[in-house]
């Protein structure tokens, strides 16, 4: 009997010790560091305020600033609640609720879009979309198909570079591209459309000269030699080429699919709710 009482006493003491340890931790974590009216700021609220590896002096500055900002916010909120009419407060609550609902609904829609939207777009679909809306795709900038080259005047192989650049043989351009470390700027692919404004930032030719098809433009200054060949030109308000606006068309098709998907989801939701008597109109 005596042994049983001793055992019970030991268990009680151990549990008591554990209780006081837990209680001490809770007291520390719930330590109040500031009070405004009935609002309390606890020590644990500062956990995410202080960055790691910060000095003691800097941490004190940050903590004081945080407490001050918290107090100002709470005091202003108290004043605002006491000085706004009940009608204004109800209107604000209504707006907050509407905003919350919109956030939840939009988040749910985005989740469904990620799960269900078909993002694969083939070339036939892009070409079909382009042909049906071609008149709507007009350029608001000049485009050129151009190859150009700029290198320092100190380059030894100047004549060789000029010869390779003027050539229309793909092998010559490949040979020229091997020397790219000697060039300041270059573009040898003249099958793609490039914005003229971007070209003007790199080459000292006039806009008028670059808007004309030409076999060779050449200019030299104190910096070096500039070469350009204009293969094709498109002016403002010309029909935008498919190759240039292909990324835009992809985005337009995806946007259209998103709208159609959301409409289908809304129809299904209403249909299911009506079927299950969760939606009734009287």
Same domain, 108 and 70: no
- Distance of alpha carbon 72 from alpha carbon 141, whole angstroms: 52
Question: Does residue 128 fall inside a structural domain?
Answer: no
Percentage, residues of the chain above pLDDT 70: 89
Domain of residue 63 covers 34-83
The winner for highest mean pLDDT among 24-33, 113-122, 167-176 is: 113-122
Judge if 100 and 176 occupy the same domain: no
- 94 part of a folded domain: yes
211 is a domain residue: yes
The first and second tokens of residue 190, run together, are: 């003249």
Total structural domains in the chain?
4
Beta partners for 224? 152
Which tokens go with 224? 């070096």
pLDDT tops 70 at residue 123: yes
Q: Are residue 54 and residue 88 in the same domain, yes or no?
A: no
Query: Residue 95 domain-assigned?
Result: yes
Question: Helix, strand, or coil here: 15?
Answer: helix
Q: 219 and 150 in one domain?
A: yes
Task: Note whether 95 and 167 are same-domain residues.
Answer: no
**In this structure, are residues 243 and 130 in contact, taking their beta carbons and an 8 Å threshold?**
no
Predicted confidence band at 235 (pLDDT cuts at 50, 70, 90)? very high
**Same domain as 76, residue 104:** no
246, part of any domain: no
Q: CB neighbours (10 Å) of residue 240?
A: 21
In a domain, 247, yes or no: no
Mean pLDDT value across the chain: 86
Are 69 and 36 in contact, with CB atoms under 8 Å apart? no
Query: Is the model's pLDDT at 256 over the cut of 60?
Result: yes
Q: How confident is the model at residue 263 (pLDDT cuts 50, 70, 90)?
A: very high
Q: 91 and 79 share a domain? A: no
Cβ-based neighbour number of residue 66 at 10 Å: 17
Tell me the longest C-alpha to C-alpha distance in the chain: 113
Say what percent of the chain tops pLDDT 90: 59
Check whether residue 38 and residue 109 sit in a common domain.
no
Render pLDDT for 28-73 as a digit per residue (tens, 0 to 9): 446 999 999 999 999 888 888 878 788 888 888 888 999 999 999 9
Name the DSSP letter for residue 122: -
In a domain, 243, yes or no: no
Strands (E), the chain: 32-36, 39-42, 143-152, 183-187, 194-195, 214-220, 224-234
132 within domain boundaries: no
One domain for residues 62 and 19: no
One domain, residues 100 and 38: no
CA distance 221 to 223: 5
Give the CATH number for residue 205.
3.10.50
Are 199 and 211 in the same domain?
yes
Average confidence (pLDDT) over 130-143: 92
Q: Rounded distance, CA 237 to CA 248, Å?
A: 17
HSE (CB half, 13 Å, CA atoms) of 255?
6
């Amino acid at each position: 009997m005596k042994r049983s009482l001793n055992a019970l006493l030991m268990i009680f003491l151990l549990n008591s010790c554990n209780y006081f340890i837990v209680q001490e931790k809770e007291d520390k974590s719930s330590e109040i560091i500031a009070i405004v009216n009935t609002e309390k700021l606890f020590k644990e609220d500062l956990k995410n305020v202080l960055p790691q590896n910060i000095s003691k002096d800097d941490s004190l500055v940050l903590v004081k600033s945080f407490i001050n900002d918290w107090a100002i916010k709470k005091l202003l909120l108290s004043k605002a609640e006491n000085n706004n009419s009940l009608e204004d407060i109800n209107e604000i609550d209504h707006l907050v609720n509407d905003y919350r609902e919109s956030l939840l609904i939009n988040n749910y829609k985005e989740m469904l879009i990620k799960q269900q939207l078909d993002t694969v777009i083939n070339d036939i679909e892009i070409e079909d979309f382009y042909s049906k809306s071609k008149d709507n795709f007009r350029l608001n900038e000049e485009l050129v198909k151009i190859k150009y080259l700029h290198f320092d005047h100190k380059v030894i192989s100047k004549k060789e570079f000029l010869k390779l650049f003027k050539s229309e043989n793909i092998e010559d351009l490949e040979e020229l591209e091997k020397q790219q470390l000697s060039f300041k700027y270059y573009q040898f692919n003249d099958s793609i459309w490039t914005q003229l404004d971007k070209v003007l930032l790199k080459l000292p030719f006039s806009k008028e000269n670059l808007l004309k098809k030409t076999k060779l433009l050449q200019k030299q200054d104190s910096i070096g030699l500039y070469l350009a060949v204009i293969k094709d030109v498109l002016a403002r308000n010309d029909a935008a080429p498919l190759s240039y606006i292909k990324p835009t068309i992809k985005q337009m098709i995806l946007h259209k699919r998103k709208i159609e998907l959301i409409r289908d989801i809304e129809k299904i939701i209403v249909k299911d709710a009506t079927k299950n008597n969760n939606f009734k109109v009287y």
